[in-house]
Structure 1
Amino acid sequence: MEYTMGTKLTNISVDMNNVKKLCKINKYKGEQIVYKKQPKNVVTSMTDDAILKFVYDTYIDSFLGGQENLVKLIHNEITPQSRDEISVVEFRDVIKTINSAFEDIKICSQTILELHGYLHRYSLIRGGRYRNEAIGFIDFGKLNDDFDNVHDIEKNIESKVENLCEKYYKFLEENKIQDLIIIAFFIMDFMLISPFKEDNLAMSKILTLLLLNKSGYEVGRFNSLGNLYHDENYSYFRTLFSRHVDFERESYNMNKWLDYFLSFILTAYEDLSEEMNLTRNKKETKTRRIEKVINSTLGYFTKDDVRNQCPDIPEPTINRVFNNLRKSGRIEVVAKGRSAKWKKK
C-alpha cells in the first residue's frame, strides 16, 4: 500500500474550500495570545476544563458505567474498578501529559510506543507494543497489511511508523507544505497502518493533539477535541484510502479527508472564540442559531432544516450541537438513518 506521506502529499492540489479553511484557522491561531494573556486562574480553569471535556466527549457514547460515574472518574472522585473505568483515567492522564509537556516530546516510534504504554499502565493488558498479527480489516478480499511474512508484522510496523515520523520532520523542514496539511496526512497514514491491536482511535486523537500543539495550533489546550474521529469516521476514511483508485479520485479523497480534518479544527477555534467573546461583531452564536431553528419548529425536525436555514454553519458544528442537546435531554431521535427525524422533549 502506498501511504499519503510521500509523493501523494508532494503532489496534492488543495481545493479552494480547504484553502479558505486554512486561512481562517491561521487567523485564529494568531489570536491565541489573547487566551494566554488572561489571568492565571482563568487560563488554568480553561486548560483543566478542556482536558475534562476532551475525555468526556471521547467516552460518553461508549462508556457503560453511566454519565454520572464518567464525570466522577474524570474528576478523580471515585476509584476505577472495571477495565472501562481504568481506560478513562489512563486516557485523561495521557491528555494531561500532552498538554503540559508537548514541547519536549519528540515524534518518533519510541514516543508512540510509550504513549500507548501509558494508555495501559494501570491495566493487565500490555501496551507499548506493536501488534504481531495481521489486521482484521478486509479490502477486496485481502488483508490490509502488505507484509510477505506475517511473522515479521511487528518488525515491519515499527519500520513503517519510524518512516512516517521521519517524513513528518522532513516535510516540516522543507517548509513547502502547510503544517496543518502535514499533520492531517500524518494522522491518516497512522490510521492506515493501525499499528496497535487496540486503541488506534484513541492514539489518533492523542497524536493529533500533540502535533497541533507542537505546530502552535493550541486550540486543544483550551477547547475539547474529543469529538474528532468517531468509529464510523475512522473506518470510512481507512476504507477510502485503502482502495486503489485513479489519480483524479485519489486527489478528491485527499481533499475530502482534509476538509473533514480542517472543518473540525476550524469549528473548535470558532467555538473557543465565541466562548471568549473574541468575535469582533458579536453575532449570535452558531449554537444559539441552531437552537432557534429547533425551537421554532413544530413537531419533528431534521438536520436539513438547520442546513437550509443556516447554510453557513459547517456540518461538524450542527452535529456537535445536536449531540449536546441529545445528551442534555432536550431533544431525542425518533427515526434513525441518513434523514433522521428528531423531536423536542
Structure 2
Amino acid sequence: MKSFAPTYLEKIVLPQRLVTSIRQIGEHKGKQELYQQQAPEMLENLRQVAMIQSTESSNRLEGIVADEKRIWALVAEKTAPANRSEAEIAGYRDVLNTIHASYDHIPFTDGVVLQLHRDLMKYSGKEGGRWKSSANEITETLPDGSKNIRFVPVAPHQTPEAMRMLHDRYSELIRQQEWDPLLLIPFYVLDFLCIHPFLDGNGRMARLLTVLLLYHNGYEVGRYISLERIVEQTKESYYDTLYVSSQGWHQGKHDILPWTEYLLGTILAAYREFEGRFGRISSGAGSKTDMVLNAIEGMVADFSVADLARACPMVSQDMIRHLLAKLRKEGKVEPVSMGRFAKWRKLTA
C-alpha cells in the first residue's frame, strides 16, 4: 500500500538516530540464544509475566478492563469469560498464545490475518474474520463532548484489495532483502491501521501482528518482555506519532518516520529491559529475590502480594512480604491500602 509504493520508498531518507536504533536492536538480537541457553527457568518466569501484561495492557488501551485476579485466571485458562470484557481478553490470550507457540508455522497472508481476527473475536459474540462492511472513521472526544475526526480509513469496498496489496508488497520487499525488516514492520503496521480493515479490534490486531512479524524476522523479545505494556506506558507518544504519520497517507505524502522511530524505540526499550533483567538474574544465580524484583518492575498498575506470588510461583508469600517491607524502607514501593488484600505501588526515582 501507500508506505510500500516504490515512488514513496525511494524518497525516504533515514536519520542517523534511526540507523543507530536498527544497529542496536540487531546487537541485542544476537544475544537472545545465549540468554535462552543460560537461564531457561528464569526466562520462563519472565515469559509468564509478559503474557499476562501483554494481554492486560493491549486490551486496557482499548478501554477493555477486568479485575486483575480475573485476568490472571483467564490467561492461565483456569476460568471462562464471565462478561464481554473478559471475552475480549480471552480472545487476545488465545491469539497471543498461538503466535508464541506457532509463529514459525504461520504464513503472513491476508487470509491468516482474517483467521487471527476470527480467533480474537470468538468469545465476544462480535463478527470476526471478515473485513469491515461499513465505514469506521477514527474519532476522538473533545473536552466539550464533541467528536473530532482524526483519520478517515480506506472505504469498506476497497478494503479487501488494499489488504491483498499490502501483503503482496510486504512479502515482495522481504524477499528482495533491500530494506531492513525493522523498517518494513512499522511501515506495515501504519498501513494496516490506516486501512483499519475491521469494524472492531484493529488496534489489538496491529499489536499482535507486530509481535508475529518480529518473530518471523528473528526478534523474540516479545516472548519475555511485554511490548504492549511499554506501549501503554508511552501511549501519548503512541497515539501522537500514529496521528502525525497518518496525515497525507491517502495521497502518499505522509511522513512515516515519526511512527517508525516510536516503534523501533519501543522494541529497543524492550531489549534493554530484557538484558537488564537477565543481567540481574544471572549475576544472582537466579535468586528468588531477583524474580520478585523483576515481577515488580513489570507491574503497570497497583499490585498485591497475591499478584507477585502468581508471577513468582517458586517464591513464598512470606518472602514476598519481607521483600516488600525492605523495599518500602528503601523508598522503592509504598502501600496503597492495608489489610489482608493490601495493594502496593512502585515509586519512581
TM-score by length of 2: 0.72
Summarize the alignment of residues 253-268 of structure 1 with structure 2, pairs less than 5 Å apart.
253-268=255-270
Alignment of 1:246-285 (within 5 A): 250=254, 253-277=255-279
Residues 31, 99 of structure 1: alpha-carbon distance in 2 compared, 3 angstrom cutoff: same
Alignment correspondent of 2:8? 8
Q: Report the CA distance shift for 1:325/1:57 in structure 2 as closer, same or farther (over 3 A).
A: closer
Residue 112 of structure 1, CA deviation: 0.4
In the alignment, the residues of structure 2 paired with residue 188 and residue 134 of structure 1 have an alpha-carbon distance, to the nearest angstrom, of 18
Residue type of the partner of 1:272?
A: F
Q: What is the alpha-carbon distance in structure 2 between the residues aligned to residue 138 and residue 78 of structure 1?
A: 35
Alignment of 1:192-231 (within 5 A): 192-227=194-229, 229-230=231-232
SS at match of 2:227: coil
Residue 328 of structure 1 and its aligned partner are, at CA, apart by 4.4
In the alignment, does 2:84 pair up with 1:83?
yes
Conserved 8 A contact 1:86-1:123: yes
Deviations 1:24-50 (A, max 9, x none): 100000001112213554454443333
Alignment-derived partner of residue 244 in structure 2: 240
- After superposition, the Cα gap between the structure-2 partners of 1:33 and 1:141, relative to the gap in structure 1 and judged at 3 Å, is closer
Output the TM-score relative to the length of structure 1: 0.72
**TM superposition shift of 1:174:** 1.5
What is the correspondence of 1:107-146 to structure 2 with a 5 Å cutoff?
107-137=108-138, 144-145=152-153
Structure-2 change in CA distance of 1:177 and 1:325 (3 Å): closer
Unaligned runs of at least 5 residues, structure 2:
141-147, 285-295, 305-332, 336-346
**Separation in 2 of the partners of 1:142 and 1:53?**
28
Deviation of residue 225 (structure 1)? 1.3
Give the corresponding residue for 2:185: 183
Contact 1:237/1:257, CA 8 A, preserved across alignment: yes
Aligned pair count reads 289
Question: Does the aligned pair in 2 maintain the 1:209–1:220 contact within 8 Å?
Answer: yes
Measure the CA separation in 1 of the matches of 2:240 and 2:132. 22
**3-state SS of paired residue (1:4):** helix
Which residue pairs with 1:27 in the alignment?
Answer: 27
> What displacement does 1:138 show?
6.6
- In the superposition, relative to structure 1, how do residues 281 and 96 fare at CA in structure 2: closer, same or farther (>3 Å)? closer
Return the alpha-carbon distance in structure 2 between the equivalents of residues 19 and 281 of structure 1.
32
Partner of 2:326: none
Q: Work out whether 1:106 is the aligned partner of 2:107.
A: yes
Q: In 2, distance between residues paired with 1:37 and 1:108?
A: 32
Give CA-to-partner distance per residue, 1:164-217, whole Å, 9 cap, x none.
Answer: 111111111111111100011100100111100011010011100000000001
Q: Does 1:66 align with 2:67?
A: yes
Contact 2:47 2:225 (C-alpha < 8 Å) held by counterparts: yes
Letter in 2 for 1:117: R
Structure 1 residue ranges, 4+ long, deviating more than 6 angstroms after superposition: 138-143, 278-282
Aligned counterparts of 2:149 and 2:79: Cα–Cα separation in 1 = 46
More divergent stretch after superposition (209-218 vs 253-262)? 253-262
The amino acid of 1:4's aligned partner reads S
Q: CA deviation digits over 1:13-68, x for unaligned, max 9? A: 11011111111100000001112213554454443333222213324564443223
- 3-state DSSP class of the match of 2:128? coil
% of aligned pairs identical? Answer: 23
Distance 1:38 1:131, change over 3 A: same
CA distance in 2, matches of 1:169, 1:193: 18
CA distance, structure 2, for counterparts of residue 325 and residue 146 of structure 1? 34
